[in-house]
Amino acid sequence: MTLLKPEEVLPHRPPFLFVDEILEIVPGESATAIWRLSGSEAFFTGHFPNRPTLPGVLMCEAIAQVGALAVLTDERYEGKLPLFGGINRARFRRQVVPGDTLTIEVQMTRLSARAGKGEGQASVGNELAASCELMFVIVDGA
């Protein structure tokens, strides 16, 4: 099976697309993807000028986008859009800096016609950088 490009599945576009490459998708169940941080991203100039650091909230957004890959490749959700409903148990364990590559893994723990939950983590190499639980609602897409 040929893997899709993130922009073929997700409605996000730069500068708010935080997935560069899809490694694996099991529709409706899980997804794994990569986000490569070049250092040219605009947020690094202000967060922080002398010590560029990826904001934790953007790691949570990247985890959500990878979760959306798992949802949107499930034929039951064709034409739909998963929207954040909440984040629980977000933890940040490692600073992520320009040049790092995040490997993001998400497992869906519950999916229904209108909502779902998932658990995800982002790692740099073998080091956990962030983890969180996601809640989302599923609405009609544009």
- The span from the CA of 134 to the CA of 116, in Å, is 8
For the chain, domains (ranges, CATH) are 6-140 (3.10.129.10)
| Cα separation values, 94 from 26, 47, 54, 74, Å | 28, 15, 10, 32
The Cα 98–Cα 100 span in angstroms is: 6
The pLDDT, as a whole number, for residue 109 is 97
Question: Tokens for 80?
Answer: 């739909």
pLDDT along the chain (142 residues), means of 10: 88 96 97 97 94 97 98 95 96 98 98 96 98 97 76
Element (H, E) at 89: strand 80-92
Q: Catalytic: 47?
A: yes
Of the residues 20, 27, 28, 47, only one is catalytic, namely 47
d(C-alpha 24, C-alpha 69), whole Å: 10
